[in-house]
Amino acid sequence: MEDICAQIYFNRNDSGGTGKSRLGCFARGAGYRSRFIRDFCDSVDLAEHLGSIAGVQLGRHSVPAVACGINYAPEDIAQAVDTWHVDSVAFDMVMMISDPAVIKGGEFQVFQGTKQEGQSLLGIRGEEGRDSELPAERVTTVAFPGAGYGFLQQGNMIFHRACRLLEKAERVTLIPSFEVLPASSRDATNSINMLEWTDPGLEAELARREIWRAAARLNALLDSISIADDRGTLHRLIGDALEPLNSLRASLKEPRS
């Protein structure tokens, strides 16, 4: 899918890192302005390598605003770099750009349990974030050996966070995002949640994504429908193919909260 707007969205959040603006400081759509970042995120070799780890075919995310993201530490180190949350995409890679040896604090941590259990312990739901502590024995810290190291995670399922810095420092991570291919496959991207974000052009990007994947599902359906399928089966198959697109369409009627 071709990019439809050449903008990078930069945000510095002073809300304390809660709710839909939980990140202290971030840039989405970095691939719009940087050919190097765009080429890295578009790398077929990278997608194939990560797909071999995940056990599914992956490709660069079809929403350019989230395909190449950058997270920065907030100016106020009393804020978490990123609060406990799950992501809006099925798979993403967290890559440390700064030298972790000179950073005090800012650890990347994951909750050892289901996302539902972690959310219940903190009293949140969905993809809302919360800057609170979980039982230490249920938390694992992921170490970065050096700048340029990263890992793949199933972002929509892993409850995770980036801790506060203990001293001001440059802490930058690159977050390339991926989706499951072919386009007719099931993919866990939460387009409805992304509609709440204020990036320029994002609503159109999401619409293009859901139209593209719905078209792929309908084309696959052409080859799978049997002359023996009854009315109820046909109704279900067509509804399944169109459901994500119809959900996005319905959400577009509602004002952003």
Please determine, for residue 14, whether its predicted confidence score (pLDDT) is greater than 60: no
For the domain that residue 166 is a member of, what is the CATH number? 2.60.120.620
What does DSSP assign to residue 210? Answer: H
pLDDT of the residue at 16 = 40
pLDDT of the residue at 23 = 63
Q: Is residue 50 part of a domain?
A: yes
- Give the residue-averaged pLDDT of 133-162: 96
Please, which pLDDT band fits residue 138 given cuts at 50, 70 and 90? very high
Q: How many domains does the chain have?
A: 1
**Domain that includes residue 155, residue range:** 9-182
Please, which pLDDT band fits residue 254 given cuts at 50, 70 and 90? confident
Higher pLDDT, 200 or 87: 87
- Give the residue-averaged pLDDT of 183-199: 94
Please, which pLDDT band fits residue 89 given cuts at 50, 70 and 90? very high
Please, which pLDDT band fits residue 17 given cuts at 50, 70 and 90? very low
Span 42-88, pLDDT tens digits: 999 999 999 999 999 999 999 998 999 999 998 899 999 999 999 99
- % of the chain surpassing 70 pLDDT: 90
Going from the C-alpha of 22 to that of each of 25, 83, 210, 212, 230, the distances in angstroms are 9, 6, 26, 30, 48
Helices (H), 15-114: 35-41, 44-54, 64-67
Please determine, for residue 6, whether its predicted confidence score (pLDDT) is greater than 50: no
8 A C-beta contact, residue 248 and residue 192: yes
Higher pLDDT, 162 or 125: 162
Q: Is residue 205 part of a domain?
A: no
Q: Is residue 196 part of a domain?
A: no
Please, which pLDDT band fits residue 171 given cuts at 50, 70 and 90? very high
Q: Is residue 63 part of a domain?
A: yes
CA-wise closest residue to 134 among 156, 117, 153, 158: 117
Q: Is residue 18 part of a domain?
A: yes
Mean pLDDT of the chain: 90
Span 222-249, pLDDT tens digits: 999 999 999 999 999 999 999 999 999 9
pLDDT of the residue at 4 = 35
Q: Is residue 159 part of a domain?
A: yes
pLDDT of the residue at 153 = 97
Q: Is residue 166 part of a domain?
A: yes
Q: What is the pTM of this model?
A: 0.87
Please, which pLDDT band fits residue 11 given cuts at 50, 70 and 90? low
Q: Is residue 233 part of a domain?
A: no
